[in-house]
Amino acid sequence: MLEQLKARAETTGRAAASDAAGRLAERVREAVPAVSVTVEGSAVTLAGRGLWRRWLADPALRWLGGLLR
């Protein structure tokens, strides 16, 4: 019984993380032009020319979790 609950909780958690990653990717695409966004499972990867410099200057890039509110 406990193993079933653990497996169900893990499946639910993975689905929620995947959903949050998808929502974050969409919001980053809207908020930060000229940045490539890819999602693999629950991982969100940003790429683009001058991204490091933009990360330093743009609060939307430094606080990506704020885009999920």
- pLDDT given for residue 19 in this prediction: 94
21-28: Cβ within 8 A, 24+ apart = 23/68, 24/64, 24/65, 24/67, 24/68, 27/67, 27/68, 28/60, 28/64, 28/67
Whether 56 shows a pLDDT value over 80: the answer reads: yes
Is the pLDDT at 63 greater than 90, yes or no? no
Q: Is the pTM of this model over 0.75?
A: yes
